[in-house]
Structure 1
Amino acid sequence: MKLSIDGWENGHEIPGKFAFGIPAEEGHVALSTNKSPALAWSDAPEGTRSFAIICHDPDVPSSGEDVNQEGKTVPADLPRIDFYHWVMVNIPTDYSSLAEGEVSDGITAKGKPPGAKPYGVTGLNNFTDWFAGDPEMGGSYGGYDGPCPPWNDSIVHHYHFTIYALDVEKLDLPGDFGGPEVLAAMEGHVLASGSYVGTYSLNPDVPA
């Protein structure tokens, strides 16, 4: 399968309009427009009954001890884990694209509700965990929310957008599902996939 994104060249820097956070004129991070990018996919194999989309960042620090701390830098050799920015399943086969801003157009404090949409079913992204306990931002973050890596990280972050062609119309998932649950439910049902990558950094000393 082929996946394309209208907004940046594959493997290159993601524009700030698709991010959750951008460099601030004062301080470190300012909130951005958080638009979901325009995706288009093709060459789905025969027998495809639905699509799924996952966007994940595999470069997230496994420990938050040094994250966004003045006078510290997140070391490059720190083990990294996955952070899911977008999880969507049960996309009908008559869809082959999503317009810019169709899934997200701005930052919604306390998150956008997951669940059934015209273009599929959105799951929870990991901003749900990141903002847990925050009285102003805590909530259930469904759909797309863009890059916002630590402003003091020593490495560039990579965002992998992947489209999956599945041999089932609907995946059997719990009510509140995220990336790991979707990956487990898709096992044995993926006919084909295609990926597109973008890079991002909020550390001025580590350009994307």
Structure 2
Amino acid sequence: MKVHVNGIDDGKPIPEKFAFGVYSEENHMNFGPNRNPEVSWQDAPEGTRSFAVVMFDPDVPSEADDVNQEGKTVSRDLPRVDFFHWLLVDVPASTSRIPEGEDSDGVIPKGKDPGPGPIGVRGVNNFTQFLADNPDMAGTYGGYDGPCPPWNDELIHHYHFEVYALDVETLGLEGEFDGEAVREAMEGHILASDRVTGTYTLNPDLR
């Protein structure tokens, strides 16, 4: 099975049109176009009954005290955790492409609805927790929301776009399910998978 993410080469920087946040010399960060990239795949194994799409960043600081704080930096040595940016399950076996902008086209304050989307069923990404204390942005963020790493992070972040071929038509997930729920539901049902990894930073010293 082979996955292709149009516009993102493995190990290379992610274009700003796919980002939730883009670099700003004046404000550190402005909202970006936040379009999901086109993801396509081929050579799924026989017996595939659905697909799941997962995009996550494993480089998110485990402590947020210094995140985006003037005069401070987030140390590259700080332990890191996974941050899910895109969860799409129950993608029909007949599907082999998600078009650019199909699941996200712009930053939506308070988030897009989880549940059935244009293709498959959307889970809840971690912007839900990240923006919970922002009264203008707090809400439930379903589907795709792109890169927006801390602008004072010493580490360049990596974003894994993964597609899984599954032996079930549905994972049986409903409501506001998260990335860990998707991983748990997929256990024992993965026939094949592949990933493309892009990088992104808002730190002007690393750009």
- TM-score scaled by structure 2? 0.98
Take 2:25 and 2:35, find their aligned partners in 1: how far apart are those partners?
21
- Provide the residue aligned with 2:113 in structure 1: 113
- Give deviations 1:56-102, integer Å, cap 9, x for gaps: 00000000011111111100110000000000100001110011101
* Alpha-carbon shift at residue 172 of structure 1 (Å): 2.3
Instruction: Tell me how far apart the structure 2 counterparts of residues 110 and 175 of structure 1 sit (CA, whole Å).
Output: 17
Q: Who is 1:102 aligned against?
A: 102
1:167: how far off? 0.3
Is contact 2:114-2:175 (8 Å) kept?
Answer: no
Which one is further off, 145-154 or 19-28?
19-28
Q: Report the counterpart of residue 159 of structure 2 in structure 1.
A: 159
How many angstroms apart in 2 are the aligned matches of 1:136 and 1:27?
17
In the aligned structure 2, how far is the partner of 1:93 from the partner of 1:119?
11
Give the whole-Å Cα distance in 2 for the aligned partners of 1:114 and 1:8: 26
The residue type equivalent to 1:109 in the other structure is P
Write out the 4+ residue segments of structure 1 that deviate beyond 4 Å after TM superposition. Answer: none
Residue 61 of structure 2: aligned partner: 61
SS in structure 2 of the partner of residue 182 of structure 1? helix
RMSD over aligned Cα atoms? 0.8
Is the partner of 2:181 in helix, strand or coil?
Answer: helix
Matched to 2:83, the amino acid is F
Counterpart position of 1:185? 185
Q: Which runs of 5+ in 1 are unaligned?
A: none
Give the corresponding residue for 1:85.
85
Letter in 1 for 2:97: S
Deviation, 1:174, is 4.2
* Cα distance, 1:9 vs structure 2: 1.3
1:75 aligns with 2:75: yes
Which residue is equivalent to 1:206?
Answer: 206
Alignment of 1:112-151 (within 5 A): 112-151=112-151
Q: What letter matches 2:176 in structure 1?
A: D
* Residues in 1 aligned to 2:151 and 2:118: alpha-carbon distance in whole angstroms: 36
Q: How many residues align?
A: 207
Deviation at 1:8, TM superposition (A): 2.2
Match of 1:32 in 2: 32
Q: Secondary structure at the match of 2:180?
A: helix
Matched-pair contact (CA < 8 Å) for 2:10–2:197? yes
Give the 3-state SS of the residue equivalent to 1:180 in structure 2: helix
1:154 maps to amino acid: E
Gaps of 5+ in 2: none
- Overall identity of the aligned pairs, in %: 58
Q: Partner letter of residue 128 of structure 2? A: T
Alpha-carbon distance in structure 2 between the residues aligned to 1:118 and 1:22: 26
Which secondary structure does the structure 2 equivalent of 1:13 belong to?
Answer: coil
Say if 2:29 is the partner of 1:44.
no
